[in-house]
Each structure stands twice: as C-alpha cells, then as structure tokens.
Amino acid sequence: MVKSKDYPIKWDHANLEKFGHFVQNLFLRDSPPELSLLCLSSCPNVTNLSCWVHISQDMMDTMSHLHLTHLSINLNVIQNPTPGLIKVFSRITHLDCLGRVNVTLGHIIHFTSLTHVSIPWYNLMERPILPILFGRFPKLETVISLRVSDSYESHDQTVSIVEEFNPDLDDPRVVKMSLPFENGVGDWLEDVKYGRGIWGLAGEAVTRRMQESPLGLRG
C-alpha cells in the first residue's frame, strides 16, 4: 500500500480497483513511474488531471484514452505526442503549464479549445507572447501569470493575486498570481472542492475587471 500526506485516498490495488472508475480528479506528484501509471490506468473517467511526474510512453498511451478538460503538466517533458494524445489536447479548456512555453512551435499549439491557461510569470515577461496567445487561441477568457514561490519567500501559504489591476494599462484577462510550491496540492483541492484555487480566483478577478474596463472598449 502507498500512502502519502498529499493524497486524500490510500492508493493501493484494492482501492484503485474498487474506486478508480469513480475518480474524476487526479493529482500525481512525487510518485514512482509504476505507481503513476497504475493510478492513471485505473481511473479511466478522469477529466481533471495534474500530472507532476515523469511522462513515459506508456503514460502518454494511457492519457490518449482519457476525456480531459483540465490538465496541469510540463509540456516540455513530452517528446513526441501520439495522434491520440493530440486529440485529447484539442479538447482541453484549462491548461496549467509548469515550465517555459513556446507559444509558436511548442505542444501548446495542439490545445485548440483553450479558454483558460496558466503560464510561468517569467515566460509571460517575454514580449510579445500575449498577443500571440490571444491571436492563436481566440476562445481565451483568462491568462494566469503564475509565480510559484519557495515557502521561505512568504508567510502566506495560499494562492493570491499579487498585483493591482490598472484598467488603463493592463489587459483585464491577465491575472498575476503567486502560489507557494508546497501548497500545490492544497490549491488543487481548493479548486476541486470549492472553486477557490487559481482558476476560481482568477475567474472572479477577470469578471470584476471586465465590468470595470470592458474589453470591447480597449484598442
């Protein structure tokens, strides 16, 4: 049996066989490849996947059979996505990118249904990435510029919006946020249970900003 403080379920074979088909939200982190593959293959109805583990060819093959809408992953670790996996990517609406993103040539181009995307803050500082994002993904409603900080950098252990919005300078769809690294699983659970993780908080901020500065009035 494998038990981790990061997981609300004890991941053993009996539980996976009994409950796997009911799982819709799955977070894989700090688990060996064999366990990650076992968990993923035992949960065929997952729609919200955070995959913070090594992505093997077997993992990609298993992911290609899922009907995901939400994905958190480092796209740079995927070398040659299969046609089945590209089809999965094309249906995803919420993408949390863990590493630097190439918006012109990288795998993100396969995510044609994106409405929400989170990209590392240092990546979004590289202009003109925002115009490229909004041009390539016309359905985009929210872009999160996320800074994942070490716990010693801040006493705040929860996700937070870190900069005030300036309606004269900023695009209301872009939200700058901070998340302590150690709270990655906690934030994921907050979003799954209460809609209070990065997606929920950013969505609320965008709604308020659009009321203050309607996008249609911007040049």
Shared domain check, 164 and 120: no
Shared domain check, 151 and 91: no
Q: What are phi and psi of 106, to 5 degrees?
A: -75, 180
Count of the separate structural domains present in the chain:
2
Shared domain check, 104 and 16: yes
Q: For position 48, which CATH number holds?
A: 3.80.10
* Tens-place pLDDT, residues 43-80: 999 999 999 898 999 999 999 999 999 999 999 888 88
Shared domain check, 55 and 104: yes
| DSSP three-state, residue 97 | strand
Shared domain check, 29 and 123: yes
Please state, in angstroms and rounded to a whole number, the distance separating the CA atoms of residues 4 and 28: 11
- Where on the phi/psi map is residue 178: left (φ > 0), alpha (ψ -120 to 50), or beta? beta
CA distances from 76 to 93, 98, 176 (A): 19, 9, 23
* Tens-place pLDDT, residues 1-22: 233 334 445 566 677 888 888 9
Q: What is the dihedral sign for C-alpha 215, 118, 136, 48?
A: negative
Range of the domain at 192: 141-213
Residue ranges of alpha helices (H) inside 53-197 are 57-63, 83-89, 121-124, 129-136, 184-194
* Tens-place pLDDT, residues 88-101: 999 999 999 988 88
Q: How far is CA 6 from the centre of its chain?
A: 17
The pTM score is: 0.84
Residue 22 has a CB neighbour count (10 Å cut-off) of 8
Single out the residue in 105, 122, 138 at which a domain terminates: 138
pLDDT at 103 over 90: no
Please state, in angstroms and rounded to a whole number, the distance separating the CA atoms of residues 175 and 157: 19
> Is 116 in contact with 136 (CB distance < 8 Å)?
no
Higher pLDDT among residues 196 and 216, named by residue: 196
Instruction: Say what the pLDDT of residue 152 is.
Output: 42
> Is 188 in contact with 163 (CB distance < 8 Å)?
no
Q: Grade residue 173 by pLDDT with cuts at 50, 70 and 90.
A: very high
Residue 181 has a CB neighbour count (10 Å cut-off) of 10
